[in-house]
Amino acid sequence: CHVKGYAAPFDQTSCGNCHLQINQVFSTEHFLTFGTDCKACHDGVESRGSNFDHAKVAFPLSGKHIAAKCSACHINARTIADLKAAPQDCFSCHEKDDNHKGQLGTQCGACHLPAGWKPATVDHSKFAFHLDGKHSAVACTNCHINGVFKGTPMDCASCHTKDDAHKGTLGNQCGTCHSPAGWSPATFDHNSVSFKLTAHKIKTDGTAFLCKDCHVKGYAAPFDQTSCGNCHLQINQAFSTEHFLTFGTDCMACHNGVESLGSAFNHNLVSFKLAGKHAPLACSKCHINAHTLSELKSAPQTCISCHLKDDHHNGQFGTECAGCHSPEGWELAKVDHSKFAFHLDGKHSVVACETCHINGVFKGTPMACASCHAKDDAHTGTLGNQCATCHSPSGWKPSTFNHNSSAFQLTGKHAAVLCASCHINGVFKGTPMDCATCHTKNDPHAGKLGAQCAQCHTTSGWTPSTFDHKNSSFQLTGKHTTVICAQCHKDKLFVGTPKACASCHGSSDPHAGALGAQCETCHTTAGWKPTTFNHANSIFKLTGAHTTALCASCHKDMKFKGTPTTCFACHAANDHHGGKYGTNCAACHSTTAWKPATFNHNLSAFPLTGAHINVVCANCHVNSVFVGTPKDCYSCHKTKDVHAGKAGTNCATCHTTTAWKPSTFKHTFPLTHGLNPIVACVTCHPSTTSAYTCFSCHEHTISNMASKHNEVRNYSPTTCADCHANGSTP
């Protein structure tokens, strides 16, 4: 395969040379179809070769697809991605074969098979309109007129209006009573409408209800509610007469055929249960003038709504009568204090009502302990009026106090201390909560560490004591975590311990103080070595080739302070210019490398513009001499002066750096004073541009001009423009 040697890139022509010998016909067709970039699809594993099994991918080949050539579907495929991108839907390949012209959509597989377009089958169960009953035997053309499939109506009336025995009187929802099995027998599910036949299936005589018993005027006519009255008056004339007189004859306003809303209505199934004296009451006593179900439901359910006239308390106890009374009768009243804000517990439960409710006044009765028990307060008010903090309704003693509910919780050894140890002479209010107040006499530090004992000690005991350096201004990290406390805190002195590195490590400084006392700039608490220094934080940031330079290259003898930061200080020996360009190397060079060097002429006294931009440096800086290079035009362009010096040396008066031509000159003397065409420059300036003559055009001798200017003082033939500024008579 590597016919050109191992070192040469693999030549894919080797694939073709070999496979053409194995199977010339297949290989030739394969190369013409998929190209010669074999490695775009093949990796040496035959699973992608001639034995590829289409059944193992998402699109198995069946029917006429089996005999199709790969290239028929994988058109212009040159890579695996191209092969995988071949469309898998029928319409992508067979749009041209669609006799339906897209009318039936693109899902060909709904009716056709890979075995061939015909015979085609349609599974109507896959569509919105299933073929059931007699519909399954109807010819397709009966519904799909002229071969039109899309938009075929699916409602019964569209096809069966002519068969409607009801002549449209029952609407067009035939499926309500009829089925695809046939027009008869027809059925109607009364549970599908608002009036259920739950209690109207069997009459009182045991016979079944017939439709015509209620629909006396026929199915097509609206249901006449007089049928209800006619029937129910026969069943129970007295009840029905009273019912109609009380609630009206609009039966459907309340009833839906379910007897739960009828004469046997169970009030226990709704929110308002009938108990006690409520049970025997006539419905109309509470449901006054109720003629609809909503009016029945709107009957008030609060006691006061019906019994306001019976309230002997005159509203003093509010409107919640049930707080004391029950449906059994007003007289059997009892008060459940657990339903009020003030529960009767302990000794309160045996106190007579009038003891607290003076003169039968209940509203506004005080609930605070002190309101009733101020005279019993042994503390004479020093502990406030929240008696319940220590006492309970069971009795004044024994009393308890939960210190955890106070600002000072009892933990550790404090939990076993007698109350009197802290609360001297029974004084509780104002008891100090800081450690030092009680434990100053136990302070071995004699106050040197302040009064915040809890920083090191706990209520469990003075020892062992701990101190979390994380809570201090000096956190312990690295090797500091293993240092013995006494090593830094001499003679157990903690206050004022120095925190600077040099305070402890000055004697270990190999720099002898030359780099200052900020050791952490290069060192960490993990150890003196390895050391690091971030030059980015210094005034001299390392860039380019400087980043790989050894520290010692610049810091001789490990001296860091005072190291020069100018280029020339280190690179004077590399200066090929011999100092001619000064010491600011960075003007042309960068830290990346000496070459290529660049110079921004726009920062110099001679910016490059126009054609100067593309001039080779050596054209102006001969022999690489830069200092003293002339900046005037004539120094470089004298040889190109077509004026032979007559126009002076200030070329920029007429020319620009863009090009010599076209040139321009702003003439102060008007050139159009009767001249047409304008004459050449040498006509007036025969020698130099600084001198001129008017006589080249004005044919007068000098003597004649002089005789005509006798009255002009200091007349000179070279000063005509002094008087004839615009070329005209003054």
The mean per-residue pLDDT over the stretch 213-235 comes to 78
Q: In whole angstroms, how large is the CA radius of gyration of the chain?
A: 59
The mean per-residue pLDDT over the stretch 607-619 comes to 90
Contact 726, 675 (CB under 8 A): no
> What is this structure's pTM?
0.29
Residue 704: the pLDDT is 74
Residue with tokens 């040099």: 502
Whether the predicted pLDDT of 57 surpasses 80? yes
What distance in Å separates the CA atoms of residue 462 and residue 441, rounded to the nearest whole number? Answer: 13
Residue 526: the pLDDT is 87
Whether the predicted pLDDT of 728 surpasses 80? no
- CA angle at 496 for the pair 490 and 501, rounded to the nearest 5°: 80
* DSSP class of 4: T
Whether the predicted pLDDT of 220 surpasses 90? no
**For residue range 291-321, what is the model confidence (pLDDT) as tens digits?**
777 778 888 888 888 888 888 777 777 788 8
What distance in Å separates the CA atoms of residue 384 and residue 396, rounded to the nearest whole number? Answer: 16
The mean per-residue pLDDT over the stretch 499-527 comes to 83
Residue 135: the pLDDT is 92
Residue 700: the pLDDT is 66
Whether the predicted pLDDT of 358 surpasses 70? yes
Contact 727, 674 (CB under 8 A): yes
Average pLDDT score, the chain? 82
The mean per-residue pLDDT over the stretch 12-16 comes to 83
pLDDT band of residue 675 (cuts 50, 70, 90) is low
Residue 263: the pLDDT is 53
**For residue range 161-216, what is the model confidence (pLDDT) as tens digits?**
888 888 887 788 888 888 899 888 888 888 777 777 777 888 878 888 888 788 87
* DSSP class of 375: G
Whether the predicted pLDDT of 48 surpasses 70? no
**For residue range 282-293, what is the model confidence (pLDDT) as tens digits?**
787 888 877 777
The mean per-residue pLDDT over the stretch 497-525 comes to 83
Residue 717: the pLDDT is 72
Contact 111, 120 (CB under 8 A): yes
Percent of the chain with pLDDT over 70: 95
Q: Which two tokens stand for residue 472?
A: 């201090």
Cα 434 to the chain's mean position, in Å? Answer: 50
Three-state SS string over 170-230 comes to CCCCHHHCCECCECCCCCCCHHHCCCCCCCCCECCCCCECCHHHHCCCCCCCCCCCHHHHH
DSSP 397-462: SS----GGGSSS---GGGGGS-HHHHSGGG--TT---SHHHHHGGG-TTTTTT-S-GGGT-BTTBS
**For residue range 103-155, what is the model confidence (pLDDT) as tens digits?**
778 888 888 889 888 888 888 888 888 989 999 888 888 888 887 787 889 89
Residue 264: the pLDDT is 60
Q: Which two tokens stand for residue 724?
A: 């004839």
**Residue, of 308 and 688, whose pLDDT is higher:** 308
> Which of 127, 119, 126 is CA-nearest to residue 151?
127
The mean per-residue pLDDT over the stretch 630-655 comes to 85
Residue 1: the pLDDT is 82
**For residue range 419-470, what is the model confidence (pLDDT) as tens digits?**
888 888 878 888 888 888 888 888 878 777 778 888 888 888 888 778 888 8
Q: Which two tokens stand for residue 147?
A: 């071969």
The mean per-residue pLDDT over the stretch 502-529 comes to 83
Residue 482: the pLDDT is 87
The mean per-residue pLDDT over the stretch 39-67 comes to 78
DSSP 342-363: S---GGGGGS-HHHHSGGG--T
